[in-house]
Amino acid sequence: MSAPAATSYKSDTRDRVALVDVTPEGPAGSGAERLRDALARMPRQVREELTLRLRRRKSVLRTEDVHVVEPPLLKRAVGASALGNCMEWFDFGVYSYLAAVIGKVFFPGASPGVQVISSFATFAAAFVVRPLGGLVFGPLGDRIGRQKVLATTMIMMALGTFAIGVIPGYGTIGIAAPLLLLLARMVQGFSTGGEYGGATTFVAEYSPDRRRGFLSSWLDFGTFVGYALGSALVTLLHVLLGDDQMLAWGWRVPFLIAGPLGVIGLYMRLKLEESPAFQQQLDEHEKSLAQKSVGSEFRTIVRGHWPELLICMGIVLLYNVTNYMVTGYLPTYQTETLHRSSDFADLLVLLGMVWIVLLITFIGRLSDRVGRRSVYGVAAAAMIVLSVPAFELIKTPGFWAPVAGVLLLSTLLACFAAPSAATLPALFPTAVRYAAMGIGFNISVAAFGGTTPLATAALVEATGNDLMPAFYLMAAGLIGLVTVKFLPESAQVPLRGSRPMVGSAEERREFLTTAEALYRATVKTGRTG
C-alpha cells in the first residue's frame, strides 16, 4: 500500500496530534506506522471536523462520500471565475481612478474639495444598494444555482458601466446628469451585491480542500488584475490626451469598453457547470438546514448564523477598508491633498496593483500551509503598526519613498485579500452559503468599505490632517485583530455541508484509508484522541 496522501497535509508543529496510543500497532515501516504518521501530521482542525462527521454518521466514509474534482473542470471553474471577476472589477474600479475628473464633469459648480467628496458620495451610493443585491441574488443563487446568477450579475455590471460612459455632463443636461450617474452607479452596486459572494462560493465549492486557499486566491488575483488594467488604461489616457482632452471626452473611454467585456464575460460564465456542493449536499444534517431555510432565508440566516455573520463582517471590514483606501482613495489623496500630478498618482497605484498580483497566489498557498488565522492576524497587527509609517513615506517628496509606502500598504492588502475567498464561504453551510455571504459581505462593504474614500476625504477636509487615512486603517486593523480571535480555522477543512473534496482518485483512496483509521481509533472505540 502506498503512503497515504494525508502525509502531504501541511500543518504547524504545534497543531500536530500524537496518536501513537490510538492507532493500529505494527512493526516499524509497516502500513500501520505510515497510517499513524499520516494521522499525526493531519492539521488539528481537519482531524476535529472529520471526527465530528464520522461520529454523526456512525460509520466509515464510502467512496461516494468523497468527491474527486476533475482537473479540466477545476481549471475551467477557477479560470472563468477569475477572468469574469477581472472584467467586472475593471468596470467597477475605473470609477475610482477617475473620481477627480468625474467630479469636474458632473459637479462643476463646487469647489475642488467638494467635487471630490460629491464624486465619492456617488461612488459610495453604489454600496448602499449592494446589500439589496445580496438579499436578492444570494437566496436566488442558493435555489437556482450559482452559475446562472453569476451570469446575470456580469451583464448587469457591464450595462451599468457602459451607461456611465454615455451620460452627458452637467453642462449639457444640468441636474439630470448627476442623477443619471447615480442611477448607473446603483445598477453597478446592485449587480456587485451578488457578484463576490457568488464567485467566492462557486470557486470554494469547486476547490479540493487542501488547495482551497491557493485556488480561491485566483479569484482576487482576477480582481486586482482588473483594477490594474483599469489603472493602466486611465494612466495611459492621461499621458496621451492631457488634462483638457481627458476632461472633455477621454474619461468616457474606459466605461465604453465595458460593453464588449460584458459580452465576453457572459459567454464564459454561461459555459460553466454548477459546483459539486450545490448539486449534492453531503449529509442529512445539512439537508435539514436547507429545508428550514427555504421559506425565509434572511430571518433564518440572521437567527441561526449571527456569530458567523459578525465574523464575516469583521473580516470583510479589514479587507475592504484597506482595499478601497488603496484603490479608491489613494489616487485622489495624492492629487488633491498632496497636489501631485494624476499621472504620478495613477502610476503609484498601478505599481501597487501589480505587486498585489505578484504576491496574492503565494499568500493563498501559504494560508493552506500555516492557516488562515495566522495570515490575517499577523497582517492586521502589522497594519496597526505600519499605517502611519506607510503614509509618511507616501507624503515624502521624490519617487522611491512614495513607492515604498504604496508597496507596504499593498502587501498588507494582499495578505487580507488572498485568504478571503477561501475563508468567508467556509463560515456557512451549503444550504445558505450564497445568501449568507450576500448579507454579511455586502452589509460590511456598504457600511465600511465603500464609504472609506468618502469618509477619509471628509476627515482630511475637516481636520486638515493628512494622516487621517493612516488612523482610519489602524482602527480597521484593530477591529480585524479582534475578529481573528473568533475566526474558526478552515484551512484544509471540508466546507460545511459539502463532501470532502480531493484532486484525484488516488488521493481519495488514501483519504478514505486515513479516515477509516481515525474512525476506528477515536469513534468506534469512543476515544477522543
Each residue of 216-266: pLDDT tens digit? 999 999 988 988 888 788 878 888 888 889 888 999 998 888 778 777 777
Which amino acid belongs to residue 135? L
Q: What is the mean pLDDT of residues 382-400?
A: 95
CB 19 within 8 A of CB 249: no
What is the per-residue pLDDT across 141-150, written as a single tens digit (0 to 9) for each?
777 777 778 8
Q: How far apart are CA 323 and CA 39, in angstroms?
A: 39
Per-residue pLDDT band for 172 (boundaries 50, 70, 90) equals confident
Burial zone of 365 (CB within 10 Å; 0-12 exposed, 13-18 middle, 19+ buried): middle
Helix (H) / strand (E) element for 93: namely helix 71-97
Most confident region among 7-21, 111-125, 460-474, 492-506 by mean pLDDT: 460-474
Q: How far apart are CA 490 and CA 480, in angstroms?
A: 17
What is the per-residue pLDDT across 30-89, written as a single tens digit (0 to 9) for each?
556 666 676 777 788 888 888 888 888 888 888 888 888 888 888 888 887 787 778 767
What is the per-residue pLDDT across 280-319, written as a single tens digit (0 to 9) for each?
543 444 444 444 444 456 777 888 889 999 999 999 999 9
What is the per-residue pLDDT across 215-224, written as a single tens digit (0 to 9) for each?
999 999 998 8
Regarding predicted confidence, which is higher, 373 or 135? 373
Q: What is the mean pLDDT of residues 511-525?
A: 78
Name which of 282, 280, 276 is nearest 206 in CA terms: 276
Per-residue pLDDT band for 275 (boundaries 50, 70, 90) equals low
Q: Is the Cα torsion angle 332, 334, 336, 339 positive or negative in sign? A: negative
What phi, psi does 60 have (nearest 5°)?
-75, 160
Q: Is the model's pLDDT at 524 over the cut of 80?
A: no
| Residue 320 confidence (pLDDT) | 92
| Residue 25 confidence (pLDDT) | 46
| Residue 35 confidence (pLDDT) | 67
Please list, in sequence order, all residues whose beta carbon lies within 8 angstroms of the beta carbon of residue 84, skipping any fewer than 6 positions away. Answer: 150, 154, 199, 222, 265, 268, 269
| Residue 355 confidence (pLDDT) | 95
| Residue 361 confidence (pLDDT) | 95
| Residue 295 confidence (pLDDT) | 46
Q: How far apart are CA 163 and CA 443, in angstroms?
A: 25
DSSP class of 494: P
Outline where 371-399 has alpha helix (H). 372-395
CB 152 within 8 A of CB 137: yes
Average pLDDT, the chain: 81
Which amino acid belongs to residue 17? V
Which residues, in sequence order, are bridge partners of residue 502? 68
| Residue 526 confidence (pLDDT) | 59
Full-model pTM: 0.80
Which residues, in sequence order, are bridge partners of residue 67? 501
What phi, psi does 379 have (nearest 5°)?
-70, -40
Q: How many CB atoms lie within 10 A of CB 401?
A: 14
Q: Is the model's pLDDT at 160 over the cut of 80?
A: yes
Q: What is the mean pLDDT of residues 208-213?
A: 93
What is the per-residue pLDDT across 394-417, written as a single tens digit (0 to 9) for each?
999 999 999 999 999 999 999 999
What phi, psi does 481 have (nearest 5°)?
-65, -40
DSSP class of 503: S
| Residue 217 confidence (pLDDT) | 94
Q: What is the mean pLDDT of residues 132-136?
A: 83
| Residue 23 confidence (pLDDT) | 42
| Residue 32 confidence (pLDDT) | 63
Regarding predicted confidence, which is higher, 4 or 436? 436
Q: How far apart are CA 242 and CA 78, in angstroms?
A: 39
Q: Is the model's pLDDT at 472 over the cut of 90?
A: yes
Q: Taking each helix axis from N to C terminus, what angle separates 372-395 and 297-324, rounded to the nearest 10 degrees? A: 40
Per-residue pLDDT band for 92 (boundaries 50, 70, 90) equals low
Please list, in sequence order, all residues whose beta carbon lies within 8 angstroms of the beta carbon of residue 187, skipping any fewer than 6 positions away. Answer: 156, 157, 159, 160, 163
| Residue 2 confidence (pLDDT) | 36
Helix (H) / strand (E) element for 68: namely strand 67-68
| Residue 413 confidence (pLDDT) | 97
Q: How far apart are CA 412 and CA 378, in angstroms?
A: 9
| Residue 33 confidence (pLDDT) | 67
